[in-house]
Amino acid sequence: MESVTGASPLLGSRSTAMRAAVLLLAWAGFHLLGLSLCLALLWIPWAQIAYGSGPDLGGCLAGLGAFWILWGLRPRFSRDKGRDEPLSGERYPKLHALVADVARRAGHPVPHELHLLPHANAYAGRRGAFLRRGRSMVGIGLPYLAWLDRPAVEAIIAHELGHHLSGDVRLGPWVHRTRNHMGHALDHLEGSGFWLDLPFVGYAHAFLHYSLGVSRAQELAADAVSARVAGASAAARALVATDERSGLWEAYLRTEAIPMLEAGFLPQLLAGFRHFEAAFNDAKKVIEPATDVKEKTSRYDTHPALEERLSALGVPRPPAIEMGGALELLEATSEAEEYVLRRMLVDEARPLRAVPWESAGTELWLPRFRVRLEPHASTLANLTPELLPGAVIRIDEWADRLRTGLALFSPEAKRRHVVMLFGTWFTVYLVELGFELQALPGWPVRALRADTVVDPFAEVAALFENKLDSARWLERCASIRSAA
């Protein structure tokens, strides 16, 4: 690809070269400390052999300690699983054209590879060794294209290219591996029982704090590139969307989208998140609003706090951003959704059946509820909704009757488990009574028939918590039967 002048390579920057030199010296110092301690420990049995009658118990323990340290300092190699295949420029020309335009404005060669991610994340990477040129890569999460307008998407791409410009892409992975190596070494040495980890703890903490400070400085520098290319306001919108929605998106993937994939279904990814976010916002309305406390950057953070980043950009916090900003860059959104969902599968060619979220209750959750009840079928055979108030009163007795395996939980945990089982049983009972099961992402499981809506888990929980007395419960049962 055509090279663009004006790029700042890793070691062309004095500050980056200085950081790299300090981190390299710190890495070498950690191993030098370990080897020095090993030699000191090995000297004890050697001296006992050379100047005495042989090593005693203390000398043997010192020798074992030296070998224990050496084993803890050994390099650990992880198998490289490789990265996903890059996004096709022929199939997604608009997104590739945007990245090429941002690269030109940033003063960086067009990245060799562009990746589309299922997570609310973006990254800059490089295929190749530490000092080789390799192939540059940029990845952007599908949710960013759904949340942000085009300038804010450009800001995210420019931010990642900023990491390329400053050399973070080469330095960052090495620093990350070094942190992991030190962590594994400390964990190994801490298990020795002879306090062999103590000489290394302070050193590792100092390396951690310095390297994290470097990481935060790198993020602020990349933010500056983002603001220069796309504008400070666009960069701020991207930061706020990431801060407000990334955690919610990951929770949605974990609790809603992944179970659908595991069951062999292809969910509507972005539509499901709209349901999930609406449920989250609805739940926040019943919670007292928290006081406006500005988050402060911790010394253990890899990224500065949002307020610090906005302050560095010199812009106020922008208002919340609605979804649906730059999806036109993907041409076919449903195809892009399937593309990123299959990236999460071990077997990307696995057959998946498209299922709307309105059918998730029947297709996904009802079979799971039935499986959950199978071990308790005989115990629950004679249970009816009218008997639930009495069962809740004798809940400890029911906990013993419904227990499977060892009794490892506290009495309260056992009671909660029984309440969950009762809610599951009540849900299946309603379906067999003719109700339709609805389980939209983020919302409670509901059973619907005509104008009657039942929230089985919540209503059984209300009975257990004495928020619903027996008389009202029986009235509720009668109304449910009449609706059926």
Q: Which of 154, 188, 213 is the last residue of a domain?
A: 213
131 compared with 171, residue with greater pLDDT: 171
Looking at the fold, whether 388 and 457 belong to one and the same domain comes out as yes
Q: Is pLDDT of 256 > 70? A: yes
**Closest by Cα among 300, 320, 322, 14 to 179:** 300
Residue type, 216: R
Contact of 159 with 134, CB cutoff 8 Å: no
Q: Which helix (H) or strand (E) holds 16?
A: helix 14-51
Q: Using one digit for the tens of pLDDT, what is the confidence trace for 379-404?
A: 999 999 999 999 989 999 998 888 87
pLDDT of residue 375: 93
- Measured from the Cβ of residue 319, the count of other Cβ atoms closer than 10 Å reads 8
Contact of 299 with 118, CB cutoff 8 Å: no
Cα–Cα distance between 265 and 355 in angstroms, integer? 6
Cα–Cα distance between 109 and 1 in angstroms, integer? 7
Least confident window among 27-36, 83-92, 252-261, 283-292: 283-292
Looking at the fold, whether 31 and 99 belong to one and the same domain comes out as no
Average pLDDT of span 192-196: 59
SS3 track for 186-230 = HHHHHCCCCCCCHHHHHHHHHHHHHHHHHHHHHHHHHHHHHHHHH
Look at residue 5 and tell me if it is in a domain. no
Looking at the fold, whether 190 and 323 belong to one and the same domain comes out as no
**Confidence band (pLDDT; 50, 70, 90) for 9?**
very low
Residue type, 365: W
pLDDT of residue 67: 79
Look at residue 85 and tell me if it is in a domain. no
Highest mean predicted confidence (pLDDT) among 195-199, 209-213, 261-265, 291-295? 261-265
Cα–Cα distance between 447 and 455 in angstroms, integer? 6
Cα–Cα distance between 238 and 244 in angstroms, integer? 10
Contact of 148 with 168, CB cutoff 8 Å: no
Q: Which of 319, 354, 389 is the last residue of a domain?
A: 354
Q: Is pLDDT of 174 > 90? A: no
Calculate Rg over the CA atoms of the chain: 29
Instruction: List b or e across 33-47, with b for residues whose CB sees 16 or more CB atoms inside 10 angstroms.
Output: bbeebbeebbebbee
Look at residue 448 and tell me if it is in a domain. yes
pLDDT of residue 16: 56
Looking at the fold, whether 404 and 383 belong to one and the same domain comes out as yes
Contact of 135 with 127, CB cutoff 8 Å: yes
Looking at the fold, whether 237 and 302 belong to one and the same domain comes out as yes
CA 412 to chain centre: 30
Say which residues have a Cβ less than 8 Å from residue 245's Cβ, sequence separation at least 6.
Answer: 120, 143, 147, 277
Contact of 345 with 278, CB cutoff 8 Å: no
Looking at the fold, whether 398 and 441 belong to one and the same domain comes out as yes
Residue type, 361: G
**Confidence band (pLDDT; 50, 70, 90) for 81?**
very low
Say which residues have a Cβ less than 8 Å from residue 432's Cβ, sequence separation at least 6.
Answer: none
Q: In this structure, what DSSP letter does residue 131 have? A: S
Say which residues have a Cβ less than 8 Å from residue 294's Cβ, sequence separation at least 6.
Answer: 305, 307
Residue range of the domain that includes 441: 357-483
Compute the half-sphere exposure of residue 355: CA atoms within 13 Å on the CB side of its CA: 23
Look at residue 86 and tell me if it is in a domain. no
Look at residue 190 and tell me if it is in a domain. yes
Q: Is 298 exposed, middle or buried (0-12, 13-18, 19+ CB in 10 A)?
A: exposed
Least confident window among 17-21, 70-74, 257-261, 308-312: 17-21
- DSSP helix/strand/coil, 169: helix
Q: Which helix (H) or strand (E) holds 115?
A: strand 113-117
Looking at the fold, whether 370 and 464 belong to one and the same domain comes out as yes
Looking at the fold, whether 50 and 103 belong to one and the same domain comes out as no
- DSSP helix/strand/coil, 87: coil
Q: Is pLDDT of 473 > 90? A: yes
Place of tokens 């010192």: 62
Q: Is pLDDT of 143 > 50? A: yes
Q: Is pLDDT of 1 > 50? A: no
Place of tokens 């110092």: 29
Number of domains into which the chain is organized:
3
Look at residue 259 and tell me if it is in a domain. yes
Looking at the fold, whether 433 and 340 belong to one and the same domain comes out as no
Look at residue 220 and tell me if it is in a domain. yes
Q: Which of 189, 213, 237 is the last residue of a domain?
A: 213
Please provide the size of the chain in residues: 484
Cα–Cα distance between 26 and 182 in angstroms, integer? 11
CA 398 to chain centre: 37
Cα–Cα distance between 408 and 387 in angstroms, integer? 28
Chain-wide mean pLDDT for the chain?
83
pLDDT of residue 2: 33
Look at residue 2 and tell me if it is in a domain. no
Cα–Cα distance between 55 and 118 in angstroms, integer? 60
CA 344 to chain centre: 13
Cα–Cα distance between 466 and 379 in angstroms, integer? 24
Looking at the fold, whether 154 and 196 belong to one and the same domain comes out as no
Instruction: List b or e across 251-278, with b for residues whose CB sees 16 or more CB atoms inside 10 angstroms.
Output: ebbeebbebbbebebbbbbbbbbbbbbe
Looking at the fold, whether 99 and 203 belong to one and the same domain comes out as no
Q: Which helix (H) or strand (E) holds 337?
A: helix 333-342
**C-alpha distance across the termini of the chain, in Å:** 67
Q: Which helix (H) or strand (E) holds 464?
A: helix 456-464
Q: Using one digit for the tens of pLDDT, what is the confidence trace for 330-382?
A: 888 899 999 999 989 988 889 999 999 999 999 999 999 999 999 999 999 99
Looking at the fold, whether 108 and 242 belong to one and the same domain comes out as yes
